[in-house]
Structure 1
Amino acid sequence: MATRNRRPAPTKDEPAEPIKKVATETTSSAFSVLDILRVAGGILLFSSALSYLTTSGTSLTWGYNPWWTRAREWKNIMNSPVSLTDEELKAYDGTDPSKPIYLALNGTIYDVSISPATYGPGGSYHFFAGRDAARAFLTGCFDTDSVPDLRGVEQMYIPLEPWEKPPPPDAPETDKQKHAVLEKRAREKRKAMSKADLKNRSAQELRKARQSVRDGLEHWHQLFRGDKGKAYRKVGEVKREEGWLSKLPKRTLCENAEKGRPVRKYEV
């Protein structure tokens, strides 16, 4: 009986069962992980190389440029944020070579020192440096609107009635005739609308206009944050006292913004 229950000893060419099992599992697991890493690394390397060639060497990530991929953003985390008043901000317009070049947009300060030929003295956009010119970024009136006051800017996106924007005096006679017909039809259409309809339309246009303002500012924020590949970065915020805006006189739309207003269209 004792002889019948005894297990045969392992041969010289085959390890004992527990040792064989452990060796197999270890080899299989290690190979599987390394294999996945090699494949993933190869795909990533190939994608980066293809992106580099396709974008003429401007991006390794197919144009995807989130903040966490930019070394300068991680540098900002290590540095204390900048906090300046509008008056203090003026000292960072590039005239002092020992200081960086800053500009602000709707209260956010950005470092644009990487482009001194553009924002420094003599640069084509030097008038933006050392100030918050949020209004001018939208209206395009750089000589008069280089201020942070955005009140009333949404009006530039609200359509005018056809009779509020007549053709210029030197326009061809055919254009004046077409405008006269359009104006007559528009007045008839407006007269047929109820007060509730007019109020609802005005509310909808105002919402769209305010969204256009936000979208316009975000376009510039993306540029100065570095989202579009420029080596600019956010460094802080403008500090202002509570109620600062109410102390400023309200501004009207500049000539450039007024001319660019759309004309309301009526269904004929």
Structure 2
Amino acid sequence: MADEPSVRRRKAEPKSNDSPSSEPVESETEVLKEQIPKKPKRKSPQERLDDDAAYSTASLCLDILRVITFIGLAWIGLSYLISNGETYSWGISDPPKYLKPEWWMKQFRGPVYLTPIELSAYDGSDPFKPIYLAINGTIYDVSSNPRTYGPGGSYHYFAGCDAARAYVTGCFAEDRTPDMRGVEDMFLPLDDPAVDKYWSKEELEVLRKNEREEALKKVNDALRHWVEFFRKKPEYEFVGYVKLPEGWPGTEPRRPLCEQAAKGRKKRVVPGHEGR
């Protein structure tokens, strides 16, 4: 038996109950396929028509009611906010300018050009017209301040005209004109032989030239102050421009300095003699 060349094979052991199941195992590809959501089936035209028919009249009425409710609440809320709690129904006693039709008309019509005669019709005497004033050729609507610029107001002289000269001289009644010629004289010293003798003729000429340049600068600065005042006031709306005749102001005589402005002129002061 020991010489037998063949080797016996050991029989396979029987599988225990703990061994893996003999059922086939799903591959990873099949598992992934099951996890991917399937695309919905495209409905046929008839099915879509059936779905539309299912949208009942009651549902449509409910959606309309929701929209109307939202608009109503928004209407009430905006009225309360814009009126600062005054009203819920837009009955504002003094509505903002963007709620006034005339304000929107102004935005689309562009600047207005008025002659001095046409501008005079807007001085506040007509309650159905706005109050306009002009300064240095630019027209503003000052209707928001009728107590000041309307009839009886302290600055009614400025309404219905371009009174640029009066803003500088302070002569409201006399200088209701945009003609600024000679206004610089109010800032020039008075000539006095007893004082001027301290300068030679050449020195006096140079001095007078410098004094006039300084006076013109003061006039320009004073006028610019009022121009900027009206330009930056949000309640005073820009309207347009004054249309002056060709050749103006050369077509009119030169105006004298008004009495109030002339009274402010002083004699020239000699250096070293200040206060004497």
Aligned residue for 2:75? none
SS at match of 1:224: helix
Aligned residue for 1:214? 220
TM-score by length of 1: 0.58
Residue 264 of structure 1 and its aligned partner are, at CA, apart by: 1.8
1:231 and 2:261 equivalent?
A: no
Residue 79 of structure 1 and its aligned partner are, at CA, apart by: 4.5
Residue 157 of structure 1 and its aligned partner are, at CA, apart by: 0.6
Aligned residue for 2:207? 201
Task: Return the letter of the residue paired with 1:231.
Answer: E
Query: Could you tell me whether the CA contact under 8 Å between 2:131 and 2:149 is conserved in 1?
Result: yes
Aligned residue for 1:146? 176
Greater percentage in helix = 1
Task: Return the letter of the residue paired with 1:143.
Answer: A
Aligned residue for 1:264? 268
Aligned residue for 2:150? 120
1:160-190 per-residue CA deviation (whole Å, 9 max, x = no partner) reads: 24x4xxxxxxxxxxxxxxxxxxx85x3xxx3
Give me the whole-angstrom Cα distance separating, in 2, the residues matched to 1:83 and 1:157.
33
Query: Could you tell me whether the CA contact under 8 Å between 1:223 and 1:230 is conserved in 2?
Result: no
Aligned residue for 2:186? 156
SS at match of 2:139: strand
Query: Could you tell me whether the CA contact under 8 Å between 2:198 and 2:270 is conserved in 1?
Result: no
Give me the whole-angstrom Cα distance separating, in 2, the residues matched to 1:247 and 1:158.
26
Task: Return the letter of the residue paired with 1:86.
Answer: P
SS at match of 2:184: helix
Query: Could you tell me whether the CA contact under 8 Å between 2:163 and 2:177 is conserved in 1?
Result: yes
TM-score by length of 2: 0.57
SS at match of 1:109: strand
Aligned residue for 1:250? 254
- How large is the Cα RMSD of the aligned pairs? 2.3
- In the alignment, which of 86, 111, 114 is matched to residue 141 of structure 2? 111
Unaligned 5+ runs, structure 1: 1-70, 164-182
Residue 77 of structure 1 and its aligned partner are, at CA, apart by: 6.3
Aligned residue for 2:91? none
SS at match of 2:250: helix
SS at match of 1:196: helix
Give me the whole-angstrom Cα distance separating, in 1, the residues matched to 2:114 and 2:220.
23
- In the alignment, which of 112, 115, 119 is matched to residue 85 of structure 1? 115
1:191 and 2:197 equivalent?
A: yes
Count of residues in Structure 1 that have an aligned counterpart in Structure 2? 170
Give me the whole-angstrom Cα distance separating, in 2, the residues matched to 1:231 and 1:224.
9
Give me the whole-angstrom Cα distance separating, in 1, the residues matched to 2:198 and 2:229.
46
Residue 260 of structure 1 and its aligned partner are, at CA, apart by: 0.9
Aligned-residue sequence identity (percent) comes to 53
CA pair 116-153 structure 1, distance change in 2 beyond 3 A: same
CA pair 208-78 structure 1, distance change in 2 beyond 3 A: farther
Give me the whole-angstrom Cα distance separating, in 2, the residues matched to 1:87 and 1:215.
28
Task: Return the letter of the residue paired with 2:248.
Answer: W
Query: Could you tell me whether the CA contact under 8 Å between 1:135 and 1:147 is conserved in 2?
Result: yes
Give me the whole-angstrom Cα distance separating, in 1, the residues matched to 2:198 and 2:137.
45
Unaligned 5+ runs, structure 2: 1-97
Task: Return the letter of the residue paired with 1:202.
Answer: R
1:112-161 per-residue CA deviation (whole Å, 9 max, x = no partner) reads: 11101111122121121001111111111122111222111110011124
SS at match of 1:246: coil
Give me the whole-angstrom Cα distance separating, in 1, the residues matched to 2:132 and 2:266.
34
